[in-house]
Amino acid sequence: MQAFPRSEAESRLSRLQHIMREAGADGCLVTQNVGIYYFTGSMQTGYLFVPAQGEPTYYVRRSVARAKAESLVPTAELGSFRQFGAKLAADYPAIFPEGTRPTIGADLDVLPAQLYLRLIEAIPAAEWKDASAYLRRVRSVKTAHEIEKIGKAARAAADALDEGIRRLRTGMTELELIMIIEEVMRRAGHAGIMRMRGYNQELVTGMVAAGEAAAEPTYFDGPAGGRGLSTAVPQGASFRPIGAGEPILIDIGCCIDGYTIDQTRTAVIGTLSPQLRTAYETAVTILRRTEENLKPGTTPESLYEQALAMAAEAGLAEHFMGFGVDQVKFLGHGIGLEIDEWPVLAKGFREPLEAGMVLAVEPKFTFPGVGVVGIENTYLITEDGSRQLTLSPERLYEITES
């Protein structure tokens, strides 16, 4: 079964080749599984070589048989890695003529240093260049096929949240709550992981945490990390029981057919304190204002700066997107095959938004020793604005126990 139509693979490769030619690259070597899948429809171990013009080749080490059955581009056995350079020169003589040093891009943001050194040795004729920006730019604009997959994940996440809220009780542990949510999503086809591009960043289903555990800082590059199950898994849900009157942050994602939705809702058994309620309402206000400007032509940087100003105006700047030195410097992020795609709503991202981009926007406020409140939706940028893909109702979930 094909992962997506052959015409879609051709379109994706054509966009990459256009960017490569503009950048003066003769070819691009895609080494990361997710990138290989995006262009070929297969995720077998190997390397995809894309010339600036002409047909690409997917060189596979394992499993060659499965790759040939799945791949939408020409596929060949890799053979000896030491002979990879000679194989490329034989297959692409116009790019590797004897005595020249063609410019070859690679996904250097995710390529391990050891493998990079082996590639230099195996393909000594190449002048290597970082092509990660090309690859991320191509993937930042989604097709109708990709948007359909994200929508499918959104439906499963909404159903899972409904079930989690229905069964939420005082004394239930964070782990028990996320287990309920995960079961519903797994039955709908959730892969059990949400892929991340960032080095040493891991995520399974998201972060469900209550009270001070949600506000506990950790290595995860997000506004709330959670205590986790141990120091070996220092993020996400813990064995901590959920109490009455404390904020419960339910930040979940669902990955179906490789594509991910990301959403956050805040719950409480009983009622929130006035301070936390004000912070939650401010997060909603920031989200509404962001929605007004979430359209083609707006720069991601301007949306982030607008949110910073609004948090400061509300007197909550030191709590926005984390606390103190652990604050993260973004408001939202692109999402698709990975949860940390481009564009990022952050300083330095000045390329205007385009129709087809999909972003998660997540204003949150962290109060050490107390908890985290906030909201997050995933949006599709349309020709004249944006459309919300997240399906869960937008409200503060206040549970009354009998």
CATH class of segment(s) 6-139:
alpha beta
- Residue 277, classified by CB atoms within 10 Å of its CB into exposed (0-12), middle (13-18) or buried (19+), is middle
Query: Has residue 4 got a pLDDT over 90?
Result: yes
Number of Cβ within 10 Å of residue 96's Cβ equals 21
Query: Has residue 335 got a pLDDT over 90?
Result: yes
- In which residue ranges of the chain is CATH 3.90.230.10 found? 141-399
Domain 141-399, architecture per CATH:
Alpha-Beta Complex (3.90)
- In which residue ranges of the chain is CATH 3.40.350.10 found? 6-139
Question: Model confidence over 35-64: pLDDT tens digits?
Answer: 999 999 999 999 999 999 999 999 999 999
Is 298 in contact with 258 (CB distance < 8 Å)?
A: no
Query: Has residue 241 got a pLDDT over 90?
Result: yes
Residue type, 219: Y
Question: Model confidence over 356-380: pLDDT tens digits?
Answer: 999 999 999 999 999 999 999 999 9
Phi, psi of 208 (to 5 degrees): -115, 115
CA dist., res. 33 & res. 223, Å (int): 28
What pLDDT band is residue 67 in, cutting at 50, 70 and 90? very high
CA dist., res. 34 & res. 341, Å (int): 12
SS3 (DSSP) at 382: coil
Examine residue 402 and say whether the peptide bond preceding it is cis (omega within 30 degrees of 0). no
What pLDDT band is residue 2 in, cutting at 50, 70 and 90? confident
Both structure tokens of 385:
């604005």
Those residues whose C-beta lies under 8 Å from the C-beta of residue 347, and which sit 6 or more positions away, are 301, 304, 305, 329
CA dist., res. 90 & res. 82, Å (int): 14
Quote the pLDDT of residue 401: 87
Quote the pLDDT of residue 402: 73
